[in-house]
């Protein structure tokens, strides 16, 4: 595998494209429009500059990234790639429609990966004629910094596909873990309900700073659950909780009502300036 197609150039897609290009892959980034593509490349340029200024990446590495990275607005420009990594918004219908189109224009031997954090890999793979070559590649944000890569296999995913992506993960400098295709996979199934429970504690009258202090000092967490929720985005947190609730049909995954009301009010966390904390 030497040629990659990354669909989507937002925070996740751009980060995936950068670490892939840094690892020496030839990467084509596809967006819906030229305007979206320019916006995505501007975000990537900002990320590269930050990594260089911090001394995490060298000037030489940054130069190599731009040599390996190209943009396009046509899926067909990636028809000869070995691996497609999709990083579009978390909507099942949107991802299924994209995978149908990819299946028609990308060579039949290419592996398709989705960066979904909670949606069914089986439901996405089922719209293609290559379900054995469809897998979840769940990167964590920010992609250039976070070391974990969760590889998610559906019942249809072949062992050969998983083995190939473990090699890709290692080349990207990530530590990979394998997870089965159940809602939330491994990390989010454990993490997100804990953050949701912290929201219940706030709803019951507890102070966010006290809750966070308790988990930092008492459980040795680097960041309290409510501060982390704000960083993730309360809308993202709510979406994943709703996916868990719908996927398992189990009341223990019910989203906190306070979380719903905060999202309805536009209090999405750090990105909106207000969440459990004010920024």
Alpha-carbon gap, residue 121 to 110, rounded angstroms: 17
Which residues, listed in sequence order, are joined to residue 152 by a DSSP beta bridge? 136, 179
Angle of helix 257-264 relative to helix 234-248, nearest 10 degrees, comes to 130
Alpha-carbon gap, residue 157 to 134, rounded angstroms: 6
Q: Per the residue annotation, which of 68, 156, 188, 229 is the catalytic one?
A: 188
Q: Per the residue annotation, which of 68, 86, 118, 150 is the catalytic one?
A: 150
Alpha-carbon gap, residue 19 to 44, rounded angstroms: 11
Closest CA to 98 of 116, 80, 117: 116
Reading the block at residue 97, the tokens are 């429609």
Alpha-carbon gap, residue 215 to 226, rounded angstroms: 10
- Contact yes or no for 50/42 (Cβ under 8 A): no
User: DSSP letter at 174?
Assistant: P
Q: Per the residue annotation, which of 9, 115, 117, 243 is the catalytic one?
A: 117
Beta strands (DSSP E) in 31-147 are 69-72, 83-86, 111-114, 134-139
Would residue 188 show up in a list of annotated catalytic residues for this protein?
yes
Would residue 117 show up in a list of annotated catalytic residues for this protein?
yes
- Contact yes or no for 170/148 (Cβ under 8 A): no
Would residue 246 show up in a list of annotated catalytic residues for this protein?
no
Q: Per the residue annotation, which of 9, 31, 68, 138 is the catalytic one?
A: 138
User: DSSP letter at 69?
Assistant: E
Would residue 221 show up in a list of annotated catalytic residues for this protein?
no
Closest CA to 40 of 1, 84, 71: 71
Alpha-carbon gap, residue 170 to 15, rounded angstroms: 16
The residues assigned a catalytic role are 117, 138, 150, 188
């Amino acid at each position: 595998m030497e040629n990659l197609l990354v669909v989507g150039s937002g925070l996740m897609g751009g980060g995936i494209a950068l670490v892939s290009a840094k690892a020496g892959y030839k990467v084509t980034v596809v967006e819906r429009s030229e305007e979206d593509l320019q916006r995505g490349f501007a975000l990537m340029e900002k990320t590269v500059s930050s990594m260089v200024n911090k001394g995490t990446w060298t000037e030489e590495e940054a130069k190599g990234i731009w040599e390996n990275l190209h943009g396009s607005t046509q899926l067909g420009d990636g028809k000869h790639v070995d691996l497609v990594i999709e990083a579009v918004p978390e909507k099942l219908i949107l991802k299924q429609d994209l995978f149908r189109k990819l299946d028609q224009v990308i060579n039949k031997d290419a592996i398709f990966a989705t960066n979904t954090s909670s949606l069914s890999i089986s439901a996405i793979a089922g719209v293609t004629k290559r379900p054995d070559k469809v897998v979840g590649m769940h990167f964590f944000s920010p992609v250039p910094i976070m070391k974990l890569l969760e590889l998610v296999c559906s019942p249809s995913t072949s062992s050969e596909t998983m083995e190939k992506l473990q090699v890709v993960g290692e080349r990207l400098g990530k530590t990979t873990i394998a997870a089965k295709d159940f809602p939330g996979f491994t990390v989010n199934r454990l993490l997100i309900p804990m953050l949701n429970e912290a929201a219940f504690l706030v709803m019951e009258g507890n102070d966010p700073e006290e809750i966070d202090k308790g988990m930092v000092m008492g459980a040795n967490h680097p960041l309290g659950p409510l501060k982390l929720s704000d960083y993730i985005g309360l809308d993202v947190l709510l979406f994943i909780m709703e996916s868990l609730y719908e996927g398992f049909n189990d009341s223990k995954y019910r989203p906190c009502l306070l979380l719903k009301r905060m999202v309805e009010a536009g209090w999405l966390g750090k990105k909106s300036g207000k969440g459990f904390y004010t920024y």
